[in-house]
């Protein structure tokens, strides 16, 4: 007996590596009379309309013995084909793939990569039927393999052949990596995991990477399920190592990552470099998303609408809480010590504290507005917005430490923690859509009181978080640390080739009061007279080539005249240099208390 033909069959060929063209042939076994097809405008996990159709070209349709049928474009991303429903419909088109990110598609002589959102038209009305993906082995390229988390139906030893997805959502949630990549494997909780790396140098230490990633996976599976298995049969990491790039995108049983080539672990190196530490944090983050974002997910994302923005107020939970746990679980996996963890937390706290927008926008608003604000940053972003990643992580920290403190005050030997809340949400929401009310009620059950005031203030409000008091309750000293000069002035600058360019003028800072504007070039300065020092002798002014020159030429002067170029005009701005501003430095004060929070598995 033969299998019935799969309703939808995508054949994706490596068209021309030098022209960066994938060739796609889509066969629809049973089309509608006026069949509509469309290409997504965004990819889940990255909240920006990216208009993937801009890279699609040459769309043609035919039926039977190559009889052309008319294709009408309806809008920027959808088409209608006037065809006969009695016969299968074949669409063919090409996609330009030259964006070396995890979000779209790439093809050159070294490597191919794509997300289904960039290459696979959505067949309206048939989204829930099985989708077959055929990847024929390229004729003129030797040594390439395929890595994807799609279910293989019939493939050769290099992975070329056919794969099947249960529906369109699964098809576009399983990106495909092709090339002569490094590949390694391990089991975590008995579940097969594969890790492929493209673009690594010969110094890359694959064994070290696998050892560490396995610890991360074991720790996260145990976090969610104790001794039970995770909610997937296998998992794939696809890492692209490049000269300059960093990021990741989560999927249901895989993740696409990009990192600096120099951040990979190196053979013969015993100490963990900072860049590799960051990469492990990224891996931990994307893996945690397999639970928190891909299964537990905003109720608004129960089914994705690919043709427009999908709004949710909950990214503070899905990105922020994931950001809290990415480093914390590295600590629990033994890949960070307490001091190392606190250093990373310190960085997050100072980032949020140096963002005036935290007093303007709540993390719930930041989530909703991600499409036009977080993903479209400009010079005013720090003044008007807050990151739902960093502040969201601190909100998670505040809930966790509050639960622990209050449980301890009640005399409980094992107080409920945020870990318990996460696991309870997993069960309550049946690993599916989540609403804020679920979070509120689960917190209430764990903490034996309503957390409505905290949700109102921390998530929907713009006041400061009670970080200092909570950290001190858990054995962490919060010490003052002299702020960097840029922070004291309220500026973000870029320095290159002996020039200081003003990128951002922070709200309420000294630079704003002096009249600096984004785009200014800060050329030089004239120190003003002080009580201890007379006005400088002629010429009295100094050319600046970096911000720190201010300290050299002005010393302790509290007032200088800044010489600034704006639109080719030279301006002289009176700048009052604020005396010592401080930031925070976290340190372990009570090791037992810190251990109880960071090291103990709950
Ligand atoms: Zn994330």
Model pLDDT, residue 363: 98
Determine contact, residues 516/573, Cβ cutoff 8 Å. Answer: yes
Model pLDDT, residue 540: 77
User: Per-residue DSSP letters for 384-416?
Assistant: H---TTHHHHHHHHHHHHHHHHHHHHTT-SS--
- Which value, in Å, is the radius of gyration of the alpha carbons in the chain? 27
Residues whose Cβ atom is located within 5 A of ion ligand 1: 319
- C-alpha 286 – ligand 1 centre gap (Å): 6
The span from the CA of 520 to the CA of 578, in Å, is 20
Confidence of residue 4 (pLDDT cuts 50, 70, 90): low
- C-alpha 307 – ligand 1 centre gap (Å): 22
- Span 335-340, average pLDDT: 96
Q: Which percentage of the chain shows pLDDT scores above 70?
A: 97
Model pLDDT, residue 228: 96
Confidence of residue 579 (pLDDT cuts 50, 70, 90): confident
Q: Is 185 helix (H, G, I), strand (E, B) or coil?
A: strand
Which segments within 276-431 are labelled E, that is strand?
297-298
Q: CB neighbours of 293 closer than 8 A, spacing ≥ 6?
A: 45, 250, 318, 319, 322
Q: Minimum mean pLDDT among 120-129, 330-339, 497-506, 533-542: which range?
A: 533-542
- C-alpha 283 – ligand 1 centre gap (Å): 10
Q: Which residues on adjacent β-strands are paired with residue 133?
A: 10, 163
- C-alpha 349 – ligand 1 centre gap (Å): 18
The phi-psi region of residue 66 (left if phi > 0; otherwise alpha if psi is between -120 and 50; otherwise beta) is left
Determine contact, residues 423/401, Cβ cutoff 8 Å. Answer: no
- C-alpha 569 – ligand 1 centre gap (Å): 44
- C-alpha 80 – ligand 1 centre gap (Å): 36
- C-alpha 153 – ligand 1 centre gap (Å): 31
- C-alpha 45 – ligand 1 centre gap (Å): 7
- C-alpha 394 – ligand 1 centre gap (Å): 15
Confidence of residue 270 (pLDDT cuts 50, 70, 90): confident
Q: CB neighbours of 74 closer than 8 A, spacing ≥ 6?
A: 36, 80
In angstroms, the Cα distances linking 263 to 180, 197, 244, 528 are: 20, 13, 10, 46
Model pLDDT, residue 267: 95
Q: State residue 172 phi and psi, 5-degree precision.
A: -85, 0
- C-alpha 195 – ligand 1 centre gap (Å): 19
- C-alpha 517 – ligand 1 centre gap (Å): 33
Residue 539, pLDDT above cutoff 70 = no
Model pLDDT, residue 74: 98
- C-alpha 425 – ligand 1 centre gap (Å): 18
The span from the CA of 126 to the CA of 77, in Å, is 17
Q: Which residues on adjacent β-strands are paired with residue 24?
A: 12, 93
Q: Minimum mean pLDDT among 197-211, 391-405, 530-544: which range?
A: 530-544
Model pLDDT, residue 219: 97
- C-alpha 358 – ligand 1 centre gap (Å): 20
- C-alpha 70 – ligand 1 centre gap (Å): 42
Residue 600, pLDDT above cutoff 80 = no
- Residue-wise pLDDT for 432-458, tens only, equals 999 999 999 999 999 999 999 999 999
In angstroms, the Cα distances linking 202 to 179, 185, 262 are: 16, 19, 11
Q: Minimum mean pLDDT among 315-329, 461-475, 486-500, 532-546: which range?
A: 532-546
- C-alpha 98 – ligand 1 centre gap (Å): 24
- Residue-wise pLDDT for 353-381, tens only, equals 999 999 999 999 999 999 999 999 999 99
Closest Cα to residue 257, out of 147, 364, 351? 147
Tokens for 383, please give them: 């003044």
- Residue-wise pLDDT for 82-94, tens only, equals 999 989 999 999 9
Q: Which residues on adjacent β-strands are paired with residue 298?
A: 434
Q: Where are the alpha helices (DSSP H) in 477-544?
A: 485-489, 510-514
Q: Is 163 helix (H, G, I), strand (E, B) or coil?
A: strand
Q: Where are the alpha helices (DSSP H) in 173-243?
A: 206-225
- C-alpha 190 – ligand 1 centre gap (Å): 26
- C-alpha 250 – ligand 1 centre gap (Å): 7
Mean of all residue pLDDT scores within the chain: 95
Model pLDDT, residue 532: 56
Supply the pTM of this predicted model.
0.96
Model pLDDT, residue 129: 96
The distance of Cα 289 from the centroid of its chain, to the nearest Å, equals: 10
Residue 2, pLDDT above cutoff 50 = no
In b/e form, how buried is each residue of 533-570, taking b as 16+ CB within 10 angstroms? eeebeeeebbebbebebbeebbeebeebbbbbeeeeee
Confidence of residue 273 (pLDDT cuts 50, 70, 90): confident
- Residue-wise pLDDT for 46-84, tens only, equals 999 999 999 999 999 999 877 899 999 999 999 999 999
Determine contact, residues 27/90, Cβ cutoff 8 Å. Answer: yes
Residue 538, pLDDT above cutoff 60 = no
- C-alpha 319 – ligand 1 centre gap (Å): 5
- Residue-wise pLDDT for 476-504, tens only, equals 999 999 999 999 999 999 999 999 999 99
The span from the CA of 535 to the CA of 528, in Å, is 6
Torsion over CA: 397, 403, 404, 406 (sign)? positive
The span from the CA of 382 to the CA of 385, in Å, is 6
The CA-CA-CA angle for residues 445, 446, 447, to 5°, reads 95
Closest Cα to residue 296, out of 233, 249, 348, 250? 250
User: Where do we find the tokens 């690993």?
Assistant: 431
State the pairing for strand pair 569-576/499-505. Answer: unpaired
Model pLDDT, residue 599: 87
Q: Minimum mean pLDDT among 284-298, 326-340, 576-590: which range?
A: 576-590
Q: Is the peptide bond before 290 cis (omega within 30 degrees of 0)?
A: no
The span from the CA of 293 to the CA of 431, in Å, is 10
- C-alpha 280 – ligand 1 centre gap (Å): 14
Confidence of residue 557 (pLDDT cuts 50, 70, 90): confident
**Residue positions counted in the chain:** 602
Model pLDDT, residue 253: 98
Confidence of residue 271 (pLDDT cuts 50, 70, 90): confident
Model pLDDT, residue 578: 85
- C-alpha 323 – ligand 1 centre gap (Å): 7
- C-alpha 285 – ligand 1 centre gap (Å): 6
Closest Cα to residue 110, out of 135, 136, 148, 138? 138
In a 10 Å sphere around its CB, with 0-12 CB exposed, 13-18 middle and 19+ buried, how is residue 585 labelled?
middle
Neighbour tally for 510: CB within 10 Å: 18
């Amino acid at each position: 007996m033969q299998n019935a033909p799969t309703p939808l069959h995508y054949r994706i060929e490596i068209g021309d590596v030098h022209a960066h063209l994938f060739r796609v042939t889509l066969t629809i076994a049973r089309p509608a009379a006026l069949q509509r097809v469309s290409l997504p405008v965004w990819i889940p996990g990255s909240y920006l309309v990216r208009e993937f159709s801009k890279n699609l070209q040459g769309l043609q349709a035919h039926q039977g013995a190559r009889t052309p049928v008319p294709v009408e474009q309806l809008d920027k991303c959808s088409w209608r084909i006037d065809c006969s429903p009695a016969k299968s419909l074949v669409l063919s088109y090409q996609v330009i793939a030259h964006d070396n990110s995890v979000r779209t598609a790439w093809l050159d002589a070294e490597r191919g990569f794509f997300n289904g959102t960039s290459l696979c038209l959505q067949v309206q009305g048939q989204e829930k039927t099985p989708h077959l993906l055929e990847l024929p082995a390229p004729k003129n390229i030797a040594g390439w393999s395929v890595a994807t988390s799609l279910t293989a139906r019939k493939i050769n030893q290099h992975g070329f052949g056919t794969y099947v997805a249960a529906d369109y959502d699964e098809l576009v949630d399983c990106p495909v990596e092709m090339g002569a990549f490094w590949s390694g494997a391990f089991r975590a909780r008995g579940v097969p995991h594969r890790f492929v790396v493209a673009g690594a140098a010969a110094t890359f230490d694959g064994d070290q990477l696998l050892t560490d990633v396995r610890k991360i996976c074991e720790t996260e599976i145990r976090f969610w399920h104790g001794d039970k298995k995770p909610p997937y049969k296998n998992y794939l990491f696809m890492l692209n190592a490049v000269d300059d790039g960093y990021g990741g995108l989560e999927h249901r049983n895989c993740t696409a990552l990009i990192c600096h080539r120099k951040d990979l672990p190196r053979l013969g190196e015993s100490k963990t470099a900072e860049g590799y530490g960051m990469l492990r944090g990224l891996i931990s983050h994307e893996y945690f998303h397999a639970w928190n974002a891909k299964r537990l997910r905003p109720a608004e994302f129960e089914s994705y609408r690919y043709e427009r923005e999908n709004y949710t107020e909950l990214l503070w939970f899905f990105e922020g809480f994931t950001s809290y746990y990415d480093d914390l679980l590295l600590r629990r996996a033994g890949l960070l010590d307490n001091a190392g963890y606190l250093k990373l937390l310190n960085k997050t706290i100072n980032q949020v504290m140096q963002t005036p927008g935290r007093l303007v926008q709540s993390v719930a608003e930041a989530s909703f507005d991600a499409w036009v604000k977080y993903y479209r940053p400009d010079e005013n972003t720090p003044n008007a917005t807050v990151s739902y990643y960093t502040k969201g992580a601190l909100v998670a920290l505040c809930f966790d430490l509050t639960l622990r403190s209050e449980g301890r005050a009640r005399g409980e030997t094992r107080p409920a923690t945020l870990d318990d809340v996460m696991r309870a949400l997993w069960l309550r929401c049946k690993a599916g859509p989540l609403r804020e009310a679920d979070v509120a009620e689960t917190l209430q059950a764990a903490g034996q009181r309503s957390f409505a005031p905290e949700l109102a203030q921390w998530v929907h409000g713009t006041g400061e978080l009670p970080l200092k008091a909570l950290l001190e309750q858990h054995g962490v000293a919060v010490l003052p640390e002299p702020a960097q000069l840029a922070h004291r002035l309220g500026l973000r600058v870029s320095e290159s080739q002996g020039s200081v360019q003003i990128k951002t003028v922070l709200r309420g800072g000294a630079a704003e009061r002096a009249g600096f504007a984004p785009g200014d070039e800060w050329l030089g300065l004239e120190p003003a007279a002080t009580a201890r020092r007379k006005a400088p002798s002629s010429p009295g002014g100094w050319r600046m080539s970096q911000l720190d020159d201010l300290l050299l030429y002005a010393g302790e002067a509290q007032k200088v005249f800044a010489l600034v170029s704006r639109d080719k005009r030279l301006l002289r701005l009176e700048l009052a240099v604020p005396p010592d501003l401080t930031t925070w430095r976290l340190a372990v004060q009570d090791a037992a208390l810190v251990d109880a929070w960071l090291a103990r598995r709950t």
